């Protein structure tokens, strides 16, 4: 009997507690949701740039925090050796082409053989492939920015000899940020793409308009939560990756579905933070 009484009083006590710490939350206590959740600002695109070839870093002037534009040179290698190899490949291609032309004329005059012409043609193709390989290698000597962004960390230093695949710069895009939220799965009854919300960023103290872009494909059954990704309607220049705050949604009209006594997280532990804490609540059948 005592256990039944406590189970019936749990929603009432939770509502009283919420009304004390969060004004206006009593109406949402029965549904186990809050009008705001924690928000994390994350770059939509981030990567670690590395070298694809062996070489010495000849140019690397960017430091952590520096900004750059798409197409700007981020770092460059000393490729004089590869340039010399490209020149040799070019010379070999020219020689093979001259040999092929000579074999064609000899064959036209009846003095050459088809075998010699075939061999000369194969030499041209082989030399052309080597020249293409060296041209691609030279393109790898200069690494340009794939987007507008900022430098997070410099993992190598100028004049350092680096191996293929060795990290050099960690960067992220500054034009597009994701707002990552972890919301109660019950919100899926009214939350959808395109829904607008407000984000308060603690580091800047500002409030910004945002909208939902994507909803996660999996619900965590333990916490009954789902990931939601939003974006700023107008990205502020002061926003940096890693900033955090709270996201608040206009209070929806939530329709309760019939059910029995169930254990579920009310997402109501701390003021201003939605986080699951398991308790027993009764759903009223309609």
Per residue in 268-279, pLDDT (tens digit) is: 545 555 555 544
For 90, the 3-state DSSP assignment is helix
Strands (E), 119-184: 142-144, 149-154, 161-162, 167-173, 177-184
Q: Tokens representing 167?
A: 């990290």
Top-confidence residue, 207 or 29: 207
Exposure string (b/e) for 191-217, b if CB count within 10 Å is 16 or more? beeebebbbbbeeeeeebebebeebbe
Q: Residue 176, exposed/middle/buried by CB under 10 A (0-12, 13-18, 19+)?
A: middle
CA distance 71 to 145: 5
Confidence check: pLDDT of 96 > 80: yes
pLDDT band (50, 70, 90) for residue 250:
confident
In the structure encoding, which two tokens stand for residue 216, read together? 């996660």
pLDDT digits (tens, 9 = 90+) for 27-53: 343 344 356 799 999 999 999 999 999
The CA distance from 191 to 84, in Å, is: 61
50-59: per-residue pLDDT in tens?
999 999 999 9
Helices (H), 34-79: none
Over residues 108-137, the pLDDT tens digits come to: 777 778 888 888 899 999 999 999 999 999
Indicate if the pLDDT at residue 261 is higher than 60. Answer: no
Q: What is the reported pTM? A: 0.67
pLDDT digits (tens, 9 = 90+) for 149-165: 999 999 999 999 999 99
Phi then psi for residue 210, to 5 deg, are -150, 170
Residues 75-90 have a mean pLDDT of 95
The band of 17, judged by pLDDT with boundaries at 50, 70 and 90, is very low
Q: Is pLDDT of 197 > 60?
A: yes
Between CA 92 and CA 237 the distance in angstroms is: 53
pLDDT at 36: 79
pLDDT of residue 72: 95
What domains lie within the chain, and their CATH numbers?
Answer: 2-44+176-281 (2.40.30.170), 46-173 (2.40.50.100)
Burial zone of 55 (CB within 10 Å; 0-12 exposed, 13-18 middle, 19+ buried): buried
Kindly report the average pLDDT of the chain as a whole number: 80
């Amino acid at each position: 009997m005592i256990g039944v009484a406590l189970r019936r009083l749990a929603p009432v006590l939770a509502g009283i507690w919420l009304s004390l710490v969060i004004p206006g939350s009593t109406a949402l206590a029965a549904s186990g949701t809050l009008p705001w959740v924690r928000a994390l600002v994350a770059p939509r695109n981030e990567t670690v740039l590395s070298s694809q070839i062996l070489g010495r870093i000849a140019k690397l002037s960017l430091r952590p925090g520096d900004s750059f534009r798409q197409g700007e040179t981020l770092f460059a290698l000393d490729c004089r050796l590869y340039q010399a190899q490209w020149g040799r490949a070019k010379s070999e291609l020219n020689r093979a082409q001259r040999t092929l032309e000579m074999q064609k004329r000899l064959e036209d005059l009846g003095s050459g053989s088809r075998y010699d012409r075939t061999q000369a043609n194969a030499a041209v193709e082989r030399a052309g492939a080597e020249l293409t390989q060296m041209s691609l290698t030279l393109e790898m000597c200069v690494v340009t920015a794939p987007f507008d962004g900022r430098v997070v960390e410099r993992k190598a230093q100028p004049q350092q000899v680096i191996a293929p695949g060795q990290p050099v710069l960690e960067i992220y895009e500054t034009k597009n940020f994701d707002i990552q939220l972890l919301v109660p799965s019950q919100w899926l009854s009214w939350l959808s793409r395109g829904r607008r919300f407000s984000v308060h960023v603690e580091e800047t103290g500002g409030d910004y308009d945002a909208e939902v872009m994507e909803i996660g494909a999996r619900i965590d059954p333990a916490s009954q939560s789902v990931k939601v990704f939003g974006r700023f309607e107008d990205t502020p220049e002061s926003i940096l990756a890693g900033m955090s705050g709270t996201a608040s949604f206009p209070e929806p009209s939530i329709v309760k579905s019939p059910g029995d006594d169930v254990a579920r997280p009310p997402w109501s532990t701390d003021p201003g933070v939605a986080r699951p804490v398991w308790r027993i609540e009764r759903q009223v059948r309609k």
